[in-house]
Structure 1
Amino acid sequence: MTIGRAFDQLFGADAPVRFSAYDGSTGGDPGAAISLRLENERGLRYLVTSPGSLGMARAYLMNDLTVEGTHPGDPYDLLKLIEDGFSYRRPTPRELPELARTLGLRSLRVPELPPQETPSQFHRLLNGLRHSKSRDAEAIHHHYDVGNAFYELLLGPSMTYTCACYPTADATLEEAQAGKYDLICRKLDLRPGMRLLDVGCGWGGMVRHAVTHYGVSALGVTLSRDQADWAAKRIAHEGLSDQAEVRFMDYRDVTERGFDAISSIGLTEHIGVKNYPAYFRFLLSRLREGGRLLNHCITRPDNLHPGIPSAGFINRYVFPDGEITGSGQIIRVMQDTGFEVRHEENLREHYAMTCRDWVRNLRENWDEAVALVGEGTAKVWALYLAGSRLSFERNRIQLHQVLGVHVEPDGNAHMPLRPTWAS
């Protein structure tokens, strides 16, 4: 049996790709627009030792599985084609011996891992327990300290790496990111003279927007030194240093109290589900009575998962130690730690559109991105963002904003009878 015939046996001769292998064999649909080529025996070992998306990603990142018919900066069509058109058929007991002879015993030996892959959960224990300060700092460094120049290509002028909010279907990414910040400012009821704490502030987009458009004083904190340095320079360039500050520090080390409002935009995914109670208790302790918290984070469409990181592509290549759960779990913990939850909404479709626009930026700047971070890392980002777009579109993941209030002892929440922000 050839590798091409094995492909047809496992995925069907009508699989919607042209497949070829280093042994000269072919499989799949010869007229398909997209082709996959298995270049060498190492690529076969990646696929055999880790069946599914992780093995394919490893082979693809090492150029052992090559693709024609789609741009490497935008694999969305390829991922959608694989998800919709591939149906894996488990081999029968009678077929297994021949299949094993074709693949060979050498295929069961795990090759070296791509350099972009993080160590296993066990090996990362050497860098501290999951969600300890040291290990959180290392996880954030892995994901965010790729280099500000790369993020400028990917994210555009807003330098905002969280879900945007599109006022119309044809709005630009920059309009949508400004719209997101403005929606959060309105939900927090920011007014001149207030004090805002933005935890996990990234490159300071929320801090600068709130200071510029709402007249507050704002403190942002981030575990990425690259982000903090970039934000400090931008704040100084825009003449906001009297009212805006971004610090390189863990949010748990913020000592100031009595903030009028707190925004947490894209941080909850990093702190660990078991740490939610301590996280929200800490934020409540930093918020004055009558103050509001807006928590914005990726969620699951149910509350059945404990949030433990998987061993798949996202955890290995993108978000080490990342954990997400359902919005119901977030709301429950917020309520149990003393917040009154007053509003929540799901921006799932908006995040699919945001990922679409980030991928477009990456594709349009592909050569420069590769020159900055290397082809393998650029491919990781393309796979991650295109795959995330598909997952948001198909409701495998969501994005929830939850608004909570630190209610005064007499029950006064300082909330209007009806929301004053546009949804």
Structure 2
Amino acid sequence: MNILIKSAKIFDKSNKDIHLKTKDILVLNGVISKIADTITPEKNTSVISKKNLCISIGWLDTSVSFGEPGFEERETIANGLKTAAKGGFTDIILNTNTNPIPYTSSTIAFIKNKASQETTSLHPLGALTVNSETVDLAELYDMKNAGAVGFSDYKKATSNSNLLKIALQYAQNFNGLIYSFPLDTKIAGKGIVNEGDVSTSLGLKGIPALAEELQVARDLFILEYTGGKLHIPTISTAGSVKLISDAKKKGLDVSCSVALYNLLYTDSKLTEFDTTYKVLPPLRTKKDKTALINAVKNGTIDFVTTDHTPLDIEQKKIEFDNAAYGTIGLESSFGLLNTIFDTETTVEILTKGRERYGLQKPEIKEGKTACFTLFDEDTQHFISKNTSISTAKNCMFFEEKLKGQVFGILNKDRVKIL
């Protein structure tokens, strides 16, 4: 397939010669053939030309859940990846909350095969422990060979300190990335929202910041002892930011992410008992939100994720105490981040992370494989229940004002233009 992208403003801080400059880009059979001020299209060349067109290397989300296998009614892999493409993502890291839980190489192979024909690339995590029961280590090495990019018991704390120690030690043999969800379940107890003034006024059981920070501190102590690669997903408190910042200064190989909703909202959103805002980690305080935004800016937080979690309507349209945690957000991510940060920073956030997962980072350079996200940086719009293509509709971002709009993606010699 031959494609000519006309008059695109390029966002690529790694290449000062083209960064923020407007160029034509010719792609022949999936490879960047030419980058120039003006290129005349030849026969059999599809031309992409849009007003205010911008381009960057493809975007990555490091925490995405679908339903397949086991919960296809929530979201299939095929439709989930189409939703990701609509959000501008050429790559996603898939979580392990399926049925069966992917703790063997055969399950990893099945998931990768299901996604092989889609425009957006899927990179699965494998479960850290058998059935994510946090008792026995799973087949980490075999899953790595089958294509797993890390090992996670999704949203389940590894309460057994020795298990985490052994996992970090063992995974060093093949450069494996170990996840540890930051929650001390004994401290959290039956809490479901942030512990504070709002939880007290609403009569809801709280999860104190201490429950997260104790686990983070423990994990970092273990990492300092063992070495290895540790990822702490979706931190949510100012205290966690400080702990991870100090660990990085010591030279520990630790990365972390924050969920988009923790950068946007605080627990004040809970006053109407709207279960759409029930997420884990919970929405925290204004102080936490400010610390998280600053940590993204200074690089203490490595990645921002949508933490996209499709759920059945029956799991949300019930009493707040019994509702499931989670929101979807793939389609809204760029437009929301672009309201918090400037567009250059937003694009930098969305393109980070591949190196951590052992994935090759694309380049906007002649002779390189094309992997692009096409977007507009200014258009004001919103996503609604009617315009979202996700099967699930549990989205706290519906009707929020978005700045900037995705036009489509080009990846693996496949194009998806909206």
Under a length normalisation based on structure 2, what TM-score does the superposition of the two structures give?
A: 0.30
Structure possessing the higher radius of gyration over alpha carbons = 1
Give the strand-richer structure, 1 or 2: 2
Query: Which protein has greater RCO, CA pairs closer than 8 Å, 6+ apart?
Result: 2
Give the helix-richer structure, 1 or 2: 1
